Amino acid sequence: MDATDTIRSTDGGAESRRFEADVSRLLHLMVHSVYSDRDVFLRELIANAADACEKLRTLSLQDGSLLGDDPRLRITVEADKEARTLTVADNGIGMSREEMHEALGTIARSGTKAFLEQLGEKADGSRLIGQFGVGFYSAFMVADRVEVVSRRAGADTAWCWSSDGLGTYTVEARPLEDAPARGTRVILHLSEDGASYAESWTVERIVKAHGSAVPVPIEFVEAGGEAKTLADGTALWTRPKSSITPEEHKAFYQSLGGQFDDPAMTLHWRAEGRHEYAVLAYVPSTPPFALFDPMRKGRLKLYVRRMFIADDIDILPGYLRFVCGIVDSADLPLNLSRETIQESPILGAIRKGVTNRILSDLEKLAETDPGTYTKVWEAFGAVLKEGLYEDFERRDALYKLARFSTSTHPGGARSLKDYIEALRPNQTAIWYLVGDDKDRLAASPHLEGFRARGIEVLLLSDPVDAFWVNAAMGFEGKPFKSVTQGSADIDLVPPLGEDAAAPRAEVDAKAATLLVFFKETLEGHVADVRASTRLSDSACCLVAGEGGPDRGLERLLAASGRASDPAKPILEINAGLPLVRRLAERFAGGGDRAALADAAHLFLDQARAAEGLPPLDPAASARRLNALLAQSLG
């Protein structure tokens, strides 16, 4: 922070600084918040106190003297109705003066940054508060003034941070006799309409609801009264599965940070045998913020025998980054460096075991509760699909989890197994269509011939689809094939319905010569012009050659600047269409070549339009259309 931010500073005395701009904005929001679930502030303060205790517990493994003569880490919540204050105290790590400036004057927290980004220019973010953990500053939802008195473990100075949340804060030295022997006291001077948070029953209710999620005991003191224990600090995951209520799970899940919904799925198990560890993890029901941020990592916190070690160790593969929770290992040594942990074979075994188990639990959920599973897939399918090209070892497991929208089931929830069960006679491939817009995919002319034959086509509209499907080897012996690529060998699949005439690749001699003429006319723009098996109502479509990338993938590569030299597409014409037959007649009868050449260009332009592409030459295209209109009017 530079000197201009310091408003008043005297040697050893009080120093006032302006909050970082983002903090001011956040505070303004907190102070003016009309958010109804203001209880969250207490959860945030308790979570901070618990973090501080866990940090000290971990540090004390190296330096036992840090605990001094007070080894029992705990959180104390004190309510004083007379004074209208609420205090959350801990005997954890505490903060130095610099740490106070850093932690309580700026926004270091990624969740809060995310909150502000989401907020954008909107003035009222009160609805968003419930969806993000906004941390310490949420205290200003209920307090006019907040004091934080802290003494860092092992330090011989104590400091007091205080602010009314209106732009500046002050940090000053605090005599040791007025400070905790170690740790932090956060004192809220409650505002008039926050006064109920000095009522013991209100505070007890909130603490009880969230306390069982906190791995540190919590005591409650009413001014002048005795301390009573509200939560014993038993780590939730060490308790028998059947003794944990859904409310406790929800509270724990939310205490993990970042999620404020109900978990869609709870995973809780203990691995025994060669490696022993416990896992308590959750699949959220709504996507967490920045799910597609490439920097986003898995979110399992690592504990060793109930000691918090780190929350940034890679335990889950990237495609499970939406899962949050903890892993508590019984085997890892406590004093390893982060690097050594990352490379430890024990962690390797945990990674493998946890990943496999999550996939198999998801599969079980799909069987036992398809409704919930469908929701999970809708929220996280696009992420899980990354595993299809990143994790070959588990591809089969991931195939079982994948769900699709298809041409016959546009509502989604189709599995590959369903697809295989619905194969049509003589169907040799799993057909798919890639694009970025689900509705446009469903309306694509490429699907018509497939529809006429009752062949189901997977409609793939997630950005990752083009990549995995391109690398996919096939499922149950059937290769994946794009309906926009190569010749669609579906001639042998019988049409649905008795008299439905499905388009066929063979054409009569007249149509064949017209197609040759079209090809010559469009030379340089297309690699070939041929009759289509794909089309039944539309006149034409573009497809990719057999060898090259699928049309959808090509567009994606082009958009990301990775396409070298896009291959020329093939224009397929519906030779069975009366319009095309009449054009063929006219051509055979020596009709006007210029008008027929215009028709060739207009076919190409409409095939491009169906893919959302502009005409090759918009001005020429308009001229051709108008000429045609003029002609048809006589």
Phi, psi of 581 (to 5 degrees): -60, -40
Of 135 and 194, nearer to Mg ion (C-beta) is 135
How far apart are CB 188 and ligand ADP at their closest, in Å?
Answer: 13
Least Å distance, CB 130 to ligand ADP, is 16
Amino acid identity of residue 162, one-letter, is S
Contact pattern from residue 47 through residue 76 relative to Mg ion, giving x for each residue in contact according to CB under 5 A and a dash for the rest: -x----------------------------
With respect to ligand ADP, which residue has the nearer C-beta, 44 or 554? 44
What is the tally of helices (H) and strands (E) in the chain? 21, 22
Rounded to whole angstroms, the Cα distance separating 54 from 36 reads 31
User: Which one, 150 or 533, has the nearer CB to ligand ADP?
Assistant: 150
Residue type for position 449: G
Among Mg ion, ligand ADP, none, residue 49 binds (CB under 5-8 Å by kind):
ligand ADP
Shortest distance, position 257 Cβ to Mg ion, whole Å: 8
- Cβ nearer to ligand ADP, comparing 51 with 418: 51
Structure tokens at 149: 């008195």
Amino acid identity for residue 195 in this structure: A
Is residue 257 near Mg ion by the rule CB under 5 A?
Answer: no
Question: Quick one: what does residue 90 bind among ligand ADP, Mg ion, none, with the CB cut-off 5 to 8 Å set by partner type?
Answer: ligand ADP
Q: How many residues sit close enough to Mg ion to count as binding (CB under 5 A)?
A: 2
Compute the distance between CA of residue 603 and CA of residue 569 in angstroms, rounded to an integer: 13
CB of 144 to ligand ADP, least distance (A): 19
Q: Which is nearer to Mg ion, 100 or 320 (CB)?
A: 100
Task: Identify which of residues 147 and 456 has a Cβ nearer to ligand ADP in the complex.
Answer: 147
Q: How many CB atoms lie within 10 A of CB 549?
A: 21
By rule CB under 5 A, what string of x and - marks binding of each residue 116-155 to Mg ion? Answer: -------------------x--------------------
Site string for Mg ion, 282-311 (x = CB under 5 A): ------------------------------
Looking at the Cβ atoms of 92 and 263, the one nearer to ligand ADP is 92
Where does residue 440 fall: left (phi above 0), alpha (psi -120 to 50 degrees), or beta otherwise?
alpha
Distance CA 397, CA 352 (A): 14
CA 569 vs CA 72, 459, 596, 618: distances in Å: 73, 21, 21, 19
Q: How far is the CB of 551 from ligand ADP (least distance, A)?
A: 46
Contact of residue 184 among Mg ion, ligand ADP, none (CB under 5-8 Å per partner type):
ligand ADP
Can you give the binding site for ligand ADP, defined by CB under 6 A? 44, 48-49, 51-52, 90, 92-93, 95, 103-104, 109, 135-136, 184
Specify which residues 431 forms β-bridges with. Answer: 457, 481
Q: Smallest Cα–Cα separation from 17: which of 101, 96, 98, 95?
A: 101
- Residue 536: CB minimum distance to ligand ADP, A: 58
Q: Which does 605 bind (CB under 5 to 8 A by kind): ligand ADP, Mg ion, none?
A: none
Question: Which residue lies nearer to Mg ion by CB, 48 or 461?
Answer: 48
**DSSP tag of 64:** G
Instruction: Report the nearest approach of ligand ADP to the CB of residue 77 (Å).
Output: 12
404 contact choice in Mg ion, ligand ADP, none (CB below 5 to 8 Å, kind-dependent): none
Taking the complex as a whole, the smallest distance from the CB of residue 166 to ligand ADP amounts, in Å, to 18
263 and 375 Cβ atoms separated by less than 8 Å: no
Name the residue with the smallest CB distance to ligand ADP.
135
| Alpha-carbon span 460 to 438, nearest angstrom | 8
**Number of Cβ within a 10 Å radius of residue 333:** 11
Q: Considering the complex, state which of residue 30 and residue 483 has its C-beta at the smaller distance from ligand ADP.
A: 30
232's tokens = 């014993």
CA 165 to chain centre: 33
Q: Which is nearer to ligand ADP, 103 or 535 (CB)?
A: 103
Taking the C-alpha atoms of residue 34 and residue 30, their distance in angstroms, rounded to an integer, is: 9
Half-sphere exposure of 206 (CA within 13 A, CB side): 22
The H or E element spanning position 189 is: strand 183-190
Q: How many CB atoms lie within 10 A of CB 134?
A: 26
Give least dist CB 370 to ligand ADP, A.
36
Interface ranges with Mg ion (CB under 5 A): 48, 135
